[in-house]
Amino acid sequence: MKQIAKIEAFELMDSRSNPTVGVRTTLSDGARGFALAPSGASTGQHEAHELRDQDNNRYGGKGVKTAVKNVTDIIAPALIKLGTVCQSAVDRTLLELDGTENKGKVGANAILATSLSVARAAAASYRMPLYRYLGGVNAQRLPTPMMNILNGGAHAANNIDIQEFMIIPAGASSFAEALRQCSEIYHALGSMLKSMGLTISVGDEGGYAPNLDSDETAIQIIVDAIEKAGYSTDEVKIALDAASSEWYENGVYHLPKRDVIYTVDEMINHWETLCRDYPIVSIEDGLAEDDWKGWTRLTERLGGQIQLVGDDLFVTNRARLKQGFEAAAGNAILVKPNQIGTLSETMEVVVMAKNRGYSAVISHRSGETEDTTIADLAVATNAGQIKTGAPCRSERVAKYNRLLVIESELRGQL
């Protein structure tokens, strides 16, 4: 039986220069797995708890020494004693060690980095690529990128309230082809912005972050960039992540950068109008995380036409997704491993969504690292969609490069 021999934890750095937890697991046969936790900016209130030191003398309170210590002092002895690398047993032990609803005791960052590093070590021990270890013979579908090329909201210091404007190369015949189309459109957008005298500096996820007149202008420029790159909006569609929980206060939506206030119904009307006027096929967090009644109405109005993705709404959590089924809220879930904390729970929520006909989009966080687990996870679960930023900034590109390698491996096998 394969056993865990050693677990080491490190305080490392993420793409926003904030500390994060890295864990290295070594098995008794010498196989090793290494994983890092990502970190969000527009985090949902119902996410698992990211444990930070709150010591203002270090990293503005964002140090993760406590989480690192929890891995070495609490998690490592228990998992070594467990005597197996079976992922469900490992993840169950992690849940028991924490014992809280939101993983606030040991910390979801400590738990996730451990959970992923054990899976990586086990895959290495079996000499399998991670997607094959996690997904078995079924793992074969490369995801379509939902690629963020223009940033706003909490991810950029510009005047745009919508957090992410994304392109979906729906007509591409392969992942490599999809990535090429997106990259060409990204470059076309950059040169258009430059010729308009606008900034081509980028936001946290690598998308451009210019100041623009309105959401409509942002979408129109993307449509123009799609065409300038030689594609049509029949082939390449648009998706938005409003991250509107950030706007919700006292039952209305206050878009802070433009200082506009919408009631719930006005907000829904706004999305409906944008979908009528532009080739938008997916809207994430069009309404706030606890606006269940609004979500039901939004889904009645737009759920038959477009994908309505719950991110802050569902937080990769089975109980929240169940609530969504009951309220007929949304028709897709964003899947972020660190919102829930363990790999097993993450994979279970994808199955649960699919069984109910909801689609699943595997996602990065705005604070990322070189860890590429989500690329393998997207293939292992056959999720069909991945959101992992612009084709710019190595922490984003690492996931795309991993998918290119997986695609060529799968081609060789099939």
Is 396 one of the binding residues for ligand 2PG (CB under 6 A)? no
Look up residue 323 and give its DSSP letter: H
Comparing C-alpha atoms, which of 2, 22, 5, 4 is closest to residue 13?
A: 22
For residue 244, the SS3 value is: helix
Query: Can residue 42 be called a binding residue for ligand 2PG (CB under 6 A)?
Result: yes
What is the C-alpha separation between 95 and 109, in angstroms, rounded?
13
Task: Using alpha carbons, list the distances in angstroms from residue 114 to 21, 61, 67, 376.
Answer: 9, 23, 11, 17
Which one of Mg ion, ligand 2PG, none is in contact with 366 (Cβ closer than 5 to 8 A by kind)? ligand 2PG
Locus of tokens 């010729």: 195
Residue nearest to Mg ion (CB): 311
In the region spanning residues 57 to 116, those forming contacts with ligand 2PG, defined by CB under 6 A, are: none
In the set 237, 336, 387, 399, the catalytic residue is 336
Q: How many CA atoms lie within 13 A of 124 on its CB side?
A: 20
Q: How far apart are CA 227 and CA 2, in angstroms?
A: 54
Based on CB atoms, which residue is closest to ligand 2PG, 76 or 204? 204
Q: Is 6 a catalytic residue?
A: no
Active site residue 205: yes
Q: Which of 50, 205, 289, 407 is catalytic?
A: 205
Determine if 43 is a binding residue for ligand 2PG (CB under 6 A): yes
Q: Could you tell which of Mg ion, ligand 2PG, none binds residue 183, using a CB distance below 5 to 8 A set by kind?
A: none
Tell me, what amino acid is at 347? M
Could you tell me the two tokens for 268?
Answer: 């829904």
**Closest residue (Cβ) to ligand 2PG?**
40
Q: Which stretch binds ligand 2PG (CB under 6 A): 35-43, 58-66, 104-112, 349-357?
A: 35-43
Q: Is 27 helix (H, G, I), strand (E, B) or coil?
A: strand
Per-residue contact flags (x/-) with ligand 2PG for residues 214 to 253, judged by CB under 6 A: ---------------------------x-x----------
Residues 144-173 interacting with ligand 2PG (rule: CB under 6 A): 163-164
Q: Could you identify the residue written with the tokens 């002092």?
A: 73
Which residues contribute to the site for ligand 2PG (CB under 6 A)?
40-43, 163-164, 205, 241, 243, 311, 334, 363-366
